[in-house]
Structure 1
Amino acid sequence: MDVVVVGAGIAGLSCARALADAGVRVRVVERGRVVGGRLASKRYDGRYADIGAAYLVADDPDFAAQVAGWQAAGLARPWTESFRVYPGGRDATGPVRWAAPGGLRSLAADLAAGLDVRLSTPLDAVPADADAVVLAMPGPQALRLAPPPGIATAGAAQTWHPVIVAVLRYPLREWDDLRGAFVNDHPVLATVCDDGDRRGDGAPVLVAHSTAELAARHLNSPEAAGPILAGAVGELLGLSAKPEVSVHRWTFAQPEPGEAPYAVDGRVWLCGDAFGRPRVQTAWLSGRSVAQALLG
């Protein structure tokens, strides 16, 4: 069996890894320059900051085993059970959030090790030279490849929301033991993470995620959202210093939850974090489910 996986995010790499480990010939095609998708880290002044997913939660036994493997390899670490909640500024306890000292993209790079991954390779149609094709991407992006009707229907049924991420680099740490915060009912700000605490190096870096509403207003000019997010974070945390601001736009950032683990029509499959509660874990499980179905 010859399988092409289109998309080198966590879902695609999970699928490809499981297939390759079972002896299947598989190649991964990715239009970007690096693997990871929204498991993304970007270098600023020689230091990586996480600009996509904020953390991992591993409450599925199989994904927990994967995360334990990353921990044993020194790639992942338990970060925090506590997140601050605004309004009010109280700390709320939840599941263990996992982080990566080398940036979350390092986990995707680990999954990709040894795989046939072809970067900077955009496609305009579903590949015809494979027994099976796995589209590991948001449904709206899959539609651009003219997939078969069942996949087109599943992709069109997905609802996605945009996010703009602002990386805020301060001259020093003015805030207390923040870790991270959920910001409810705010017009522009959804979450703030202390990237220095998350990464474990204490760097004076905060990463803010916008609301979908702010992102939608600034999709064509994301840089304009940077000062807005920096101002909102400064007001929320009572910061006096002005940060250096860098932004990243995610047009397809947050899907509405789905139910099935994947969609399939003939030899074409669709998977990702829209198939379940939107999490890194969901994407990993969705890709792995496709691999298991192909192997079965």
Structure 2
Amino acid sequence: MGVDVTVVGGGISGLACARAVQAGGLSVRVLDRGRRVGGRLASRTLWGRPVDLGASYFVSDDSDFDDVVAGWADRGLARPWTDTFAVIDADGEQTIKKGPVRWAAPRGLRSLAVDLAEGLEVRTEHTVERVDPYRVDGHDAGEVVLAMPGPQAARLLTAAPGGDIEWEPVIALALRWDSRHWPSDLHGAFVDADPDVSFIADDGDRRGDGAAVLVVHTTAERARRHLDDPATAIPPVLDAVRRLLRIDTDPAETFAHRWTFARPVGTTGAPFLRTPGLSACGDAWGDRAAVRTAWGSGHALGRALAGA
């Protein structure tokens, strides 16, 4: 393929890796099977606006990532969202918890991936069938980087790096009402001890446009029952949301999206894997699964590959 590095996977980790490789003076190409880059920084246009269906937010606490976030903020691509979330118990009782500032993107988190891809050679809708050290689908590819969940990497080679880490599924539900039926200061909420719901985000508050849209992440247990048909999760999860938030009316429109490999249960502890000809990065590397971990893993691997 005539490049120094081929990155398979166009999520935030793969794009961060590619940018660091290119900044180090090497040639790099990104291959992604999707129609657009972003991976789990997924935003879909619903009801005339972007809705984040993958990652809910990100936190910045790393000096290198801070510089990237500052650039996004200066250009209006990212904004501080909130440092206050609720914790909702199974009876709907809320406790307010302070924490780090969570950041959001007015145009959807995918817009940040699109920004990272600017200036890179990216091939979308490119399905890779097989990788080996220095080779992709039987062709010379330079150093090969797998920037994807371990179970997906396992489909491309026999012994996938990070393949022993368990991943949980999630179904993300977008729910639109004609008007808001929850407190204006809800922001987002972690849900404890509910069999159906793990997290709720006020997407209008997160996006900054005030739209009456909630995005709900199911528990892994609920998601596993509906992976074949995500829309079948809507009735039980909607019942749970109405009970937890004490909403007395159904939404005007709904949408469900399946994430078979939404998040790793654990992490490797190492920032990335590097072996001759075949390396790996992503949010299963590092000390905790998070957007900043994914970026940091890819960035660190890219610098290592470029000899920085």
If the TM-score is normalised by the length of the shorter chain, which range does it land in? over 0.9
By how many angstroms is 1:156 displaced?
2.2
- Are the aligned partners of 1:160 and 1:254 in contact in 2 as well (CA < 8 Å)? yes
Question: Hey, which bits of structure 1, 4+ residues long, moved more than 2 A?
Answer: none
| Cross-structure match for 1:249 | 258
| Cross-structure match for 2:125 | 120
| Cross-structure match for 1:178 | 186
Whole-angstrom CA distance in 1 between matches of 2:86 and 2:156: 42
By how many angstroms is 1:226 displaced?
1.4
SS of the residue corresponding to residue 62 of structure 1 reads helix
- Are the aligned partners of 1:171 and 1:241 in contact in 2 as well (CA < 8 Å)? no
- Are the aligned partners of 1:195 and 1:203 in contact in 2 as well (CA < 8 Å)? yes
How do 1:1-296 and structure 2 match up within 5 A? 2-87=4-89, 88-126=93-131, 127=136, 128-146=139-157, 149=159, 152=160, 154-176=161-183, 177-243=185-251, 244-255=253-264, 256-276=266-286, 277-296=288-307
> TM-score, normalized by length of structure 1?
0.96
How many corresponding residue pairs? Answer: 292
By how many angstroms is 1:137 displaced?
0.2
- Are the aligned partners of 1:56 and 1:280 in contact in 2 as well (CA < 8 Å)? yes
- Are the aligned partners of 2:151 and 2:163 in contact in 1 as well (CA < 8 Å)? yes
* Equivalent position amino acid for 1:180 in 2: G
Whole-angstrom CA distance in 2 between matches of 1:90 and 1:144: 43
Residues 167-201 of structure 1, C-alpha deviations (whole Å, 9 max, x = no match)? 00111111112100000111010000000000000
By how many angstroms is 1:221 displaced?
1.6
SS of the residue corresponding to residue 240 of structure 1 reads coil
> TM-score, normalized by length of structure 2?
0.92
Residues 32-57 of structure 1, C-alpha deviations (whole Å, 9 max, x = no match)? 00100000100112111000000001
Whole-angstrom CA distance in 1 between matches of 2:262 and 2:291: 12
- Are the aligned partners of 2:25 and 2:306 in contact in 1 as well (CA < 8 Å)? no
* Equivalent position amino acid for 2:237 in 1: L
Whole-angstrom CA distance in 2 between matches of 1:109 and 1:78: 19
Whole-angstrom CA distance in 1 between matches of 2:151 and 2:166: 9
